[in-house]
Amino acid sequence: MTAAPHIAVERVSTPEQLAEAFALRLVVFVEEQGVPPWEEVDDADFTDTTTHVIARDLDGGDVVGTARLLTDPAHLGEVHIGRVAVAQAARGSRVGAALMAALEAIAVAEHHDQYGNVTVLLSAQIQALGFYERLGYMPSGRIYLDAGIEHRDAAKILSHPAL
């Protein structure tokens, strides 16, 4: 998977990797942003249709980023990226962009519609909306509260290059 030069993005395949992802999310969302812990880890984290990725620092081996991709076989060609979290020390070093690129690649390869297209949806925290816009996501709709934090929906359409 494509990554910033100092990290490797891994598709989560073990309980240990998932625990590392959850640990980072708890720091970022619960400790830093005040999200109630019972709202952070949810049922979607454990479904067979959810893909998690982590970004690991190649120097120390620590997990410095994580994100998840939600899919629904009944809605082929539509996915949702969420729970994008980057450790405070790694912010601004392209870890978030590497996580997004990895999940977008998975979305295009595995979840495109019959025409090779996939719509990637996300709920962006307002303070992170500029980051997603720089990656090509188009905001839409009104600002709303999720876990007490202002969010706005955004979307991006991707196409499978071989189809």
pLDDT tens column, 15-71: 999 999 999 999 999 999 999 998 999 999 999 999 999 999 988 899 999 999 999
> Could you tell me the strand order of the sheet in which 78-86 lies?
7-11, 50-57, 63-71, 78-86, 117-125, 149-159, 138-146
Tokens 């899919």, residue located: 71
Are 42 and 147 in contact by the 8 Å Cβ rule? The answer is no
Q: For residues 113 and 76, what is the distance between their CA atoms, to the nearest angstrom?
A: 5
pTM for the whole structure: 0.93
Q: What's the Cα-to-Cα distance from 152 to each of 7, 10, 34, 40, 65, rounded to whole Å? A: 29, 28, 19, 18, 22
Q: Going by C-beta distance under 8 Å and a sequence separation of 6 or more, which residues neighbour residue 101?
A: 1, 2, 3, 9
* Tens-digit pLDDT profile for residues 76-120: 899 999 999 999 999 988 999 999 999 999 999 999 999 999 999
Are 53 and 10 in contact by the 8 Å Cβ rule? The answer is yes
Half-sphere exposure of 130 (CA within 13 A, CB side): 2
- Which value, to the nearest 10 degrees, does the dihedral of the CA atoms of residues 36, 142, 21, 27 take? -40
What is the chain's percent helix, strand, coil content, to nearest 5? 35, 35, 30
pLDDT at position 5 is 64
What radius of gyration, in Å, describes the C-alpha atoms of the chain?
A: 15
Q: For residues 127 and 159, what is the distance between their CA atoms, to the nearest angstrom?
A: 28
Q: Would the CA dihedral through 89, 127, 155, 84 be positive or negative?
A: positive
Q: Please measure the distance between the N-terminal and C-terminal CA atoms of the chain and give it in whole angstroms.
A: 21
